[in-house]
Amino acid sequence: VAKRVGINDIAKAAGVSPTTVSHALNGKGRIPAETRARVQAVAKRLGYTAHAQARALATGRSFTLAIQIAGGGRGAMVPDFSYFIELLNCASEAAIEAGYGLVVVPPGLSKATVRSLPIDGAIVVDPTGQENLLTRRDVALVTTSRAPTKGRQPLWVDNDQTHATRQVLEHFASEGCIRPALLTTPPGQSYVDDVVASYQAWCIEHGCEPLIERVNPPATEAAALPAALRLLGHNPRPDGIYATLDRTAIGIVQAAGKLKLSVPEDLLVAAVTDSPLLAASNPPVTALDLNAPEIGRRAVQLLIAQLEHTDGSLESITVPSTLIVRASSMRRPTRQLPG
Amino acid sequence: VAKRVGINDIAKAAGVSPTTVSHALNGKGRIPAETRARVQAVAKRLGYTAHAQARALATGRSFTLAIQIAGGGRGAMVPDFSYFIELLNCASEAAIEAGYGLVVVPPGLSKATVRSLPIDGAIVVDPTGQENLLTRRDVALVTTSRAPTKGRQPLWVDNDQTHATRQVLEHFASEGCIRPALLTTPPGQSYVDDVVASYQAWCIEHGCEPLIERVNPPATEAAALPAALRLLGHNPRPDGIYATLDRTAIGIVQAAGKLKLSVPEDLLVAAVTDSPLLAASNPPVTALDLNAPEIGRRAVQLLIAQLEHTDGSLESITVPSTLIVRASSMRRPTRQLPG
DNA sequence: ATGAAAGCGCTAACAG
DNA sequence: CTGTTAGCGCTTTCAT
């Protein structure tokens, strides 16, 4: 194995001291641009890469970020799995670009274990507020969707579910829907609460009766079916249903089928997290694309900003979501796009 | 912030030297059991945790493992997403228990980036053989499902798809199926190749004509539909189809519905990766549970064994899979389990 | 503007 | 069996 090229090697090659090399490479100190450029050139030529753990020891930082993902498989903690994979991959990419490693930590770690993690910061995806990781006060924190506040609210990266819900309801209305209903999971996660509140506000504004059913986790298609049937058995019957999970939306479509109701003619359907399942459904279901890649990237950037940008006051970030209109909510004939 | 308790603090408290503490805690050297116990007790009492990056610098190891997950969202690289989340969470848990961190690295990293990762080992999930991570010869490697060999074959953790395929086909046969067909994705990933080979061998043994259709990624329900229709249009018509992905199996069920064929009366259906989708389908689809948690754990253990267990010759691991028989492949009336 | 020197917290030779 | 001594590769005062 070829010996690692270190800061001393490049110091020798450039005819300066290790200190100067360190300064030149990290933009510290006051070094003439010329010297800096030369040192950097030599470093590149020699294929220098900083020895991460040496730097970590010297600086007291680990250049490692943690990301915690809620329950694996059981339950419906993560709205859609492809959502999470995209988020994870993009977060990891952003971290690596910035010179950090992103470690996955399993859910449900003890306080002691959590305390011993050598990390500079952590991302908690869709927190319930129970996560021990959120109790660490010595690391930077970011949540995606907001943590039920308990003590200081960590910075978050989230979608504007309030706006998005309104957007869906207005889309429904424009397609002739006058009695929209809502199918959600139990409250506690911020996005659920946001959708419910926004839905209720819209109903009050438009003088219609709010109609909400809850389905308990695991929120599968099958579990959603009875709740959807209850909604559809209501009098007057709702003519549109918005679901807070992709799989429950499929349950609605199935329920409509059972009752010989046509989607979208008799019932509009939309869901909050876009997924392959919704796109492939029959009919394809209108959905909100939450932009998982952007959420992952932003969460990492916000974390690193807290770590490095000590001065500026940082703010939580709202990532735009996109409403993807599909056949399940289009009463007019579909216009086919060429290609 | 309370100052970290270090090895020197506990040395002082226990009235020994730092070296003795180090040895006592790491099981090195020959230290009387009594001393060792006392030191460990003091360490626990003081809530000592080794400073990871200091140890890393001193030992030259990073105590960090990488895991690479193929494409996020697009394509069908990962057979099922919940499969991957479970694998990831369990791998991460196993790593943390053993004192390692598990970092996620995005797919498609350049050779240079891959080289600069400060890791002791790496897991590549369902490799295609293109992964630059597999070219690092200075770290331990494990793949889940086997890497298309290109140079040395890394150790792997895999299911026995050959056996499992046979198990499915025999189950089909026991339910009266005499013309089983196969619906797969393109070759290249080892599990696909294994299933195809095993299927062909079975057909030859049982004197039936192999009937295989391929569906190109992204292997969605919709993409599988035409392939399934082609299979069902074959003469004589197959009376059972085994699919190598959960979503393509759903495509088969849809195709059967379109042709007014009943599942399971006219057609048995099974799939290779169990998922919520299959369990919730109508009818529920028989599937192979690959035991993702075990695969994740074993992969980490095998990696760490390579790192620490320099002596013993290590072997790749086959994780048992479980056939979960559901309505889609049961001709006899279902016996309901109580509860 | 640059470099010498002192660690960061731990482990590993090597002496006692 | 235990303790002293030297670093691991980098950053960072602090002189020059």
pLDDT of residue B221: 83
Question: How confident is the model over B169-190, as a mean pLDDT?
Answer: 95
Compute how many other C-beta atoms are within 10 angstroms of the C-beta atom of residue B107: 20
pLDDT of residue A2: 60
User: Percent of chain A at pLDDT above 70?
Assistant: 93
pLDDT of residue B332: 66
pLDDT of residue B34: 84
Nucleotides of C under 7 A from a protein CB: 1-5, 7-13
Chain A hits for B247, Cβ within 8 Å = 276, 280
**Token reading at B157:** 């953790």
pLDDT of residue A73: 46
Q: Do A101 and B96 count as a contact with CB atoms less than 8 A apart?
A: no
Cα of A200 to nearest chain B Cα, Å: 31
pLDDT band at B36, cuts 50/70/90?
confident
**Token reading at A94:** 């952003």
Cα of A219 to nearest chain B Cα, Å: 10
Closest to A220 (Cβ–Cβ): which among B52, B90, B276?
B276
Question: How confident is the model over B9-28, as a mean pLDDT?
Answer: 86
C-alpha angle A81-A85-A90 in degrees, rounded to nearest 5? 150
Q: Is B181 buried (19+), middle (13-18) or exposed (0-12) by CB count in 10 A?
A: buried
pLDDT of residue A318: 98
Q: Do A115 and B49 count as a contact with CB atoms less than 8 A apart?
A: yes
pLDDT band at B152, cuts 50/70/90?
confident
pLDDT of residue B124: 95
pLDDT band at A103, cuts 50/70/90?
very high
Question: How confident is the model over A168-172, as a mean pLDDT?
Answer: 98
Residue B339: pLDDT over 60? no
Question: How confident is the model over A208-224, as a mean pLDDT?
Answer: 90
pLDDT of residue B255: 96
Q: Show Cβ contacts of residue B12 under 8 Å, excluding neighbours closer than 6 positions.
A: none
Round to a whole number and report the distance in Å from the CA of B49 to the C1' of C10.
12
Closest to A104 (Cβ–Cβ): which among B1, B104, B222?
B104
pLDDT of residue B279: 82
Residue A175's beta-bridge partner residues? none
Nucleotides of D under 7 A from a protein CB: 1-5, 7-13
pLDDT of residue B184: 95
Residue B149: pLDDT over 50? yes
Q: Do B85 and A73 count as a contact with CB atoms less than 8 A apart?
A: yes
pLDDT band at A311, cuts 50/70/90?
low
Q: Do B116 and A72 count as a contact with CB atoms less than 8 A apart?
A: no
pLDDT band at B311, cuts 50/70/90?
low
- pTM, full prediction: 0.89
